[in-house]
Structure formats: C-alpha cells, structure tokens
Amino acid sequence: MKVLVVGSGGREHALLWKAAQSPLVERLYAAPGNAGMAALAELVPWSGDVEALADWALAEGVDLTLVGPEAPLVEGIADAFLERGLRIFGPTQKAAMIEGSKAFAKGLMERYGIPTARFRVFQDPLLALEYLEAVGVPIVIKDSGLAAGKGVTVALDLHTAKQAVLNLLSGPEGGEVVMEEYLEGEEATVLALTDGETILPLLPSQDHKRLLDGDQGPMTGGMGAVAPYPMDEATLKRVEEEILKPLLQGLRAEGVVYRGVVYAGLMLTREGPKVLEFNARFGDPEAQALLPLLENDLVELALKVAEGRLEGTRLSWKEGAAACVVLAAPGYPEAPRKGIPLHIPEPPEGVLVFHAGTRREGEGLVSAGGRVLNVVGLGKDLREALGKAYAFLPQVGFPGALYRRDIGRRALGLST
C-alpha cells in the first residue's frame, strides 16, 4: 500500500514512524513533512491546498491517508479525498466542527447532555464585558475558532478576563468567544478511534499545556505528555458512556458520521469527568506518548476506521509507560527563533526522538518552528520512562532550548 501522512510536526513524525512498521506499507509519503520524517518517507511539497493534495494523491495512487493536524480537517480535506474515492483516516469538515468551533461543540454537548462547564457564547464585546461584570472570576475565556491550543485564558482576575475578551473580539473581522465556568480537578485526555459506530478508547494520557514548570506561563500547543495516565476503570467507563457515545450519537442524529480519532480533553471533577474540549485528531504531544505503546498495526486500524469495519477489533498495549518531553525554541510561543543548528545523536534503547519544527539546511539540521523536538522515554513504569527521556535531553539540547522539568510529576504522584 501507498500511505500518505499529512502534517509536519512531532505528532505526524510519530504517526509515520508507527505506519512504517506495518507490513501492509510499500511506500510512505509525508506532506509537507519535516527533516526527521525524510528518513522514513518521500516528502511532498504542499502549500495547504486540500483540493490540490487530493488531486496529487489520486494521480499517485495513494491507498490510505492519515491526517495529523486540525486545520486541513476543518478545511475539508476528508471531503476532498472522499469525493475522489480515496480512503482517508480523519473526520469530514462537518464532523471536524467539534474542534473548528468551540461554540458548536458546546451547543452539541448541551443538546445531548454531555457533562461540561456551564457556558455562554458572545460576539459582541460590550455584552461579553457586561456578562463578566455580572458573573465575576475565576472564569475561562476561549477563542471559539482554531487557535493551535493557545486560544484559552484562565482568568483569575477581572482585568485579565476583560483583556482576553477585548483581544479576541475587537479585531476588524470580529470574533466569537466562549466563556465558561472555571472547573477544578485534574486534567486528563482520552482519545478514541471510531468509525461512527464502534468506539475504541486508547490509554488515558495527560498533556502539559503551560510553558513553564508548575503549570505557569502562557498556554502552548503542549510541552509534554505521559501515558498511561492513572485513571480508574470506573472513570474511563463513564467517559465512554457519558461523553464519547452521546457525542457520536448526537452527531449521527444531526446527519454526521464521525470517522477518525476523537480527542476528549477532560477535567476530572468531584462530580465526575467533564469535557474541557473536543478535538478532531490525535493530540500533540499525546500521540508521541501513546503510539509507541500501541501494539496493533496503525495502518490496519486506520483502514478499518476509514471503511467502517472497526466492530470486533481489540486494542493491545505494551506493558509499561511512555513520557514525551518537548524541546521548544527560545521565544516560543510568541516569537520562536528559527535557524538554530541542531545536533541529534542516535538515541539509546528505550528513547525515541520525533522531529517537530526542523528542516535541513545544507548538510545540517536547523530549527524551523516553535516546538522543535520531542524526546520520548519508554520504561516499565512512568518513573523509568521519565528518567530515560530526561537523561537524553542534554544530548539533543540547543542554545536557549525551553523545556519543562516537571512533566509527569502530577501523574507520578497519583500512581505511587
């Protein structure tokens, strides 16, 4: 089979690495890919035009496409491929609205009784500010559209809350914000494969969104992740029964069949799991921690999802744990520095390196994005996995590299 992976980050490198292990694969492509992915696949120059990529895939005879990032899904890449009779792993444009519009997602949750924070949606800044004065803080303010994981403000004071609202709503094109009650608890992620009928939850994981240790600093695309997160069976069952099933049933009731990965970002509150956000794809960096633990053939699973044949499939996992630590460029997330020379030695056993923002320049590698490299440690337990990842970091570090030193600390505290 000819398999195409769409995207250029650490998540896509992990997808490609896992796909390369499938005996079904004869040839791999990545569009546009990155320097690390070039060792596994033929890189396809791509500007982001989904129709053009679908035409290329048809001409090239691509058998299956795996989509990593959210932007092409929201732009309708699955629709473009399906119109040409091409198999694709990823939801249609309508289904991807669970991530493309937080207002749509919250309305869906309200309609189908999915537990989430109380919320209001605003487009008018004056009405939004009036509402703020009435409800007070703490409050969570979210950009309703795609924001690469960075469009969220957890406001503990009124000044921060008002500033966030004005930043999002006072532009010339206007905007839309979702304002939510502040939930307390532990954050976790449950991803699930689905063909629209069958749901296969993956191992629970935990992402670390803030830039700095102790969950301080600005929101980022994610600075690290661990899997499995210590979630008890009863809670995981509630996530499946109260969140994932109603979501898919609700979409179906509205004429939408969801095929791909559903990402449920959760707050584990005293009342039970509540949805912070839905995403329409693998998490980044959760995928980098989960895929190395997955024993199943990813390409085979993706085919079953794309063809609606997931029923009867069981997921199998390796013993142990995985921990991903992200190395970001100085200046990330606002203005990451590019062109920093990188030196990446061969990692030892139990350590993987996935490229994110890298490109080849002459004979060497340089940074080309905010999140540059992902170092993943694998171990018999989370403590060993973290130890391996952090032990290797100095060897791939670069001047001014930003990384968190406390990835997995909360999960470790819960599992010991």
Model confidence over 150-177: pLDDT tens digits?
Answer: 578 889 999 999 999 998 888 777 788 9
CA angle 29, 301, 287 (to 5 degrees): 70
Residue 289 pLDDT > 80: yes
List the structure tokens of 217. Answer: 């600093």
Q: Which long-range contacts (CB under 8 A, 24 or more apart) does 107-110 make?
A: 108/247, 108/250, 108/251, 108/254, 109/247, 109/275
DSSP string covering 328-350: E-TTTTTS-----EE--PPPPTT
Model confidence over 70-115: pLDDT tens digits?
Answer: 999 999 999 999 999 999 999 999 999 999 999 899 999 999 999 9
Q: How many CB atoms neighbour CB 62 within 10 A?
A: 23
Residue 378 pLDDT > 90: yes
331 confidence band (pLDDT: 50, 70, 90): very high
Q: How many CB atoms neighbour CB 118 within 10 A?
A: 11
> Please, what is the angle between helix 10-19 and helix 298-306, to 10°?
100
**Which phi and psi (to 5°) does residue 5 adopt?**
-110, 125
CA distance 281 to 286: 11
Average pLDDT over residues 247-253: 97
Which runs of E-coded beta strand occur in 137-185? 139-143, 152-155, 177-181
Query: Given this model, what pLDDT does residue 149 score?
Result: 56
Arithmetic mean of pLDDT over the chain: 95
Which runs of E-coded beta strand occur in 41-123? 42-43, 64-67, 88-89, 119-122
Cis omega before residue 228 (within 30°)? Answer: yes
Question: Is residue 369 within 8 Å of 285, Cβ to Cβ?
Answer: no
Query: Given this model, what pLDDT does residue 173 score?
Result: 73
Predicted TM-score of the model (pTM) = 0.94
Question: Is residue 72 within 8 Å of 113, Cβ to Cβ?
Answer: no
Q: CB burial class (10 A; 0-12, 13-18, 19+) of residue 173?
A: exposed
Q: What percent of the chain has pLDDT over 90?
A: 91
Question: Is residue 292 within 8 Å of 376, Cβ to Cβ?
Answer: yes
Residue 332 pLDDT > 70: yes
- Which run of H or E residues covers position 99? helix 97-100
147 confidence band (pLDDT: 50, 70, 90): low
3-class SS at 390? helix
Range of weakest confidence among 6-10, 42-46, 139-143, 271-275: 139-143
CA distance 9 to 32: 10
CA distance 359 to 63: 27
